[in-house]
Chains A and B, each alone.
Chain A
Amino acid sequence: EAQVTQNPRYLITVTGKKLTVTCSQNMNHEYMSWYRQDPGLGLRQIYYSMNVEVTDKGDVPEGYKVSRKEKRNFPLILESPSPNQTSLYFCASSLSGVHYTFGSGTRLTVV
């Protein structure tokens, strides 16, 4: 089944403790991206990648890092999480920018 697998689904952590949210797709898509969803703001792009070893900032990159060492994986790294990064996170991938496949989301709470 074609899918984007995102883990974990829920995560509660403390301020400053490094964490990684994993994202993997099995469709050989070149484009992958991370979004955060906040009430009243919709989804906003954090980082995206057009191919292996090619990443670029989206609209809200501060406090986040990503890497794209393999085509299928695009992890989101929070080196020192803060409460304002409490949000719902989505990973997405696309082949042509016409159809997007989303992960099931990660609900992150930073206390």
Chain B
Amino acid sequence: AQTVTQSQPEMSVQEAETVTLSCTYDTSESDYYLFWYKQPPSRQMILVIRQEAYKQQNATENRFSVNFQKAAKSFSLKISDSQLGDAAMYFCAYRSGGNYQLIWGAGTKLIIKP
């Protein structure tokens, strides 16, 4: 069975600095998708970034980028120029190419220090 591991329960970063959240996953499949979701105190699930496994190029969305290491099964999220509004829980999720179920990590709470 596929698993997703986020080894950092909590991270803190100074405003305007860069922070990297780690995520590793275990799968024997070659076709899959990886996601980072943000959950602010409002509880809403907000997609931050998505990566298709067949794409070698790392996905980027403005200040958010990923380091996708397929062989190492690693999918870390880098947040540049951290802002107070980035404070939230961040979840890494995996989806097999064969079905729509999302497998989630335990989450990382990101604290931004002003």
Residues in A lying within 8 Å of B, measured CB to CB: 31, 33, 35, 40-45, 48, 50, 58, 88, 90, 92, 94, 97-100, 102, 104-105, 107
Q: Categorize the interface residue count of chain B.
A: 20 to 34
Q: Is the CB of B43 within 8 A of A88?
A: yes
Secondary structure call for the B interface: loop
- Residues of B close to A44: CB separation below 8 A: 104
Q: Beyond A48-B100, A48-B101, A97-B33, is A43–B91 a contact (Cβ under 8 Å)? A: yes
Contact of A42 among B33, B101, B105 (CB under 8 A): B105
Interface string of B85-114 (1 = CB under 8 A from A): 000000101010001111011110000000
A-B contact pairs, 29 of them (CB 8 A): A31-B100, A33-B100, A35-B102, A35-B104, A41-B106, A42-B4, A42-B104, A42-B105, A42-B106, A42-B107, A44-B104, A45-B101, A48-B100, A58-B101, A92-B102, A97-B33, A97-B95, A97-B100, A98-B33, A99-B47, A100-B45, A100-B47, A100-B102, A102-B44, A102-B45, A104-B43, A104-B44, A105-B44, A107-B43
- Residues of A close to B93: CB separation below 8 A: 43
Considering only CB atoms, which chain B residue lies closest to A32 in the complex? B100
- Residues of B close to A92: CB separation below 8 A: 45, 102
